[in-house]
Amino acid sequence: MTELVPRAPDVIRDATLYNLLPLWMCNLAENLPLIRKGLDAQDLPKRKEPAIVVGAGPSLTIYKHLNLIKRSGWKHTILACDKVLGDCIRRGLIPYAVATVDGSPRINAFYDRQDVKKHAPQINGIFNTLTHPSVINTWQKAGGKTYFFNSMLDDPGKDGKLDVKSLTNIMWLLTKQKGLISGIGNVGSFLWNISVALEADPIILVGIDFSEQVLNKADAVYFDYYVKLFLQKYKDDPNVAQDKAADMHQVEVNPDFVAPFTRLPYYKKGKNVRYLVNPIWKYYRDAFAMHIVSSKKHTINCTGNGCLTTEAIKCPNFEAMALNEVLKKYA
């Protein structure tokens, strides 16, 4: 099945770094005293068993996957994105770990809740050294165990030779050499990476859509970003900028999953599911795909939709399967 949307060029990544670096460096400066005496994410105890990575994609809610996991009696590892931590806890699913990659202060809302605070002492918190201080303070006050990692903002070396001027290398030194772990651009992919480090097998994905299922393109996460991008060229005609932004968002077909119900326009019973995607989601997908292929780690995508497909990732260690089938096999 032909994909309509290419991945975003590297210039998008560079623009993100340019725009967010001031915030990230302020966060790092405030966090440093805690980080330097804190725990290293690389020292998390191993989990040599099946692990479910819970992302925050729309399919998680549409398929009621958390309810399925709960009913299965799952006793193995769960790793949750910050956004869905509360949803897991409300269903009696207490993750082994939760992670935050983003530096925005808005992330604090996912932790500053009574149900999360109540169970924080049972959960390992894994935080980017660039995480907003309010997030870390909320977690630590609740008694959550805190592990830190450095994300790789650039290449710290080439051909086996260290680049001492690298941003990543400088952060590594400032943080008392806290582990360098690729965030792969988003928290869901990062948790897969942590699962590899924990030696989990297999790694089961839910809620990792890398796409959306909104009714109106203007409601898509990156729509306003693309409008602003095109306004630089079409500053006298905002309608053209909006049309160009809409062209960056296209509906594609997932070859791995057939809809068991009808929920138009993305689900029609008996037909392959569909999703709305743009080049930024494809950038995340392709970066994640490179890690899956090179790791040779058995990964099962049970998300039920999205652009992370077996056609896009052709390797023997990656497969797609309905979650209920996987739970029967591994729960």
Nearest to 116 by CA among 146, 134, 137, 138: 138
Integer Cα distance of 249 and 226 in angstroms: 10
pLDDT of residue 164: 86
**What average pLDDT does this structure show over 93-100?**
98
Beta-bridge partner residues of 40? 148
**Residue 162, pLDDT above cutoff 90:** no
- Structure confidence at residue 2 (pLDDT): 64
The DSSP string of 87-111 is HHHHTT---SEEEE----GGGHHHH
Residue type, 269: K
pLDDT at 17: 80
pLDDT at residue 8 in the model: 77
Type of residue found at 328: K
Q: How many domains does the chain have?
A: 1
pLDDT of residue 11: 64
Tell me if 268 is assigned to some domain: no
- pTM higher than 0.85, yes or no? yes
In the chain, the largest separation of any two C-alpha atoms, in whole Å, equals 58
pLDDT at 3 over 90: no
In a domain, 40, yes or no: yes
Per-residue model confidence (pLDDT) at position 163: 86
CA–CA distance, 125 with 192 (Å, rounded to integer):
15
pLDDT at 1: 60
Ranges assigned E (strand) in 156-263: 157-158, 161-162, 203-206, 250-258
pLDDT digits (tens, 9 = 90+) for 35-80: 999 999 999 999 999 999 999 999 999 999 999 999 999 999 999 9
Residue 294, domain member (yes or no)? no
150-172 average pLDDT score:
86
Helix (H, G, I), strand (E, B) or coil at 76: coil
Percent of the chain with pLDDT over 90: 86
- Give the DSSP H or E segment for 273: strand 272-277
pLDDT in tens, 247-276: 999 999 999 999 999 999 999 999 999 999
**So what's the pLDDT on residue 143?**
98
152 within a domain of the structure (yes/no): yes
Report the C-alpha gap between 189 and 287 in whole angstroms.
9
> pLDDT tens digits, residue range 197-235?
999 999 999 999 999 999 999 999 999 999 998 998 998
pLDDT of residue 157: 79
State the residue range of the domain holding 22: 10-210+299-330
- Judge whether 199 lies within some domain: yes
Distances (CA, A) of 29 to 23, 26, 170, 198: 10, 5, 13, 29
DSSP character string of 50-64: -EEEE---HHHHHTT
Residue 24 lies in a domain: yes
Q: Residue 246 falls within a domain, yes or no?
A: no
Q: Could you tell me the end-to-end alpha-carbon distance of the chain, in angstroms, rounded to an integer? A: 33
* 80, part of any domain: yes
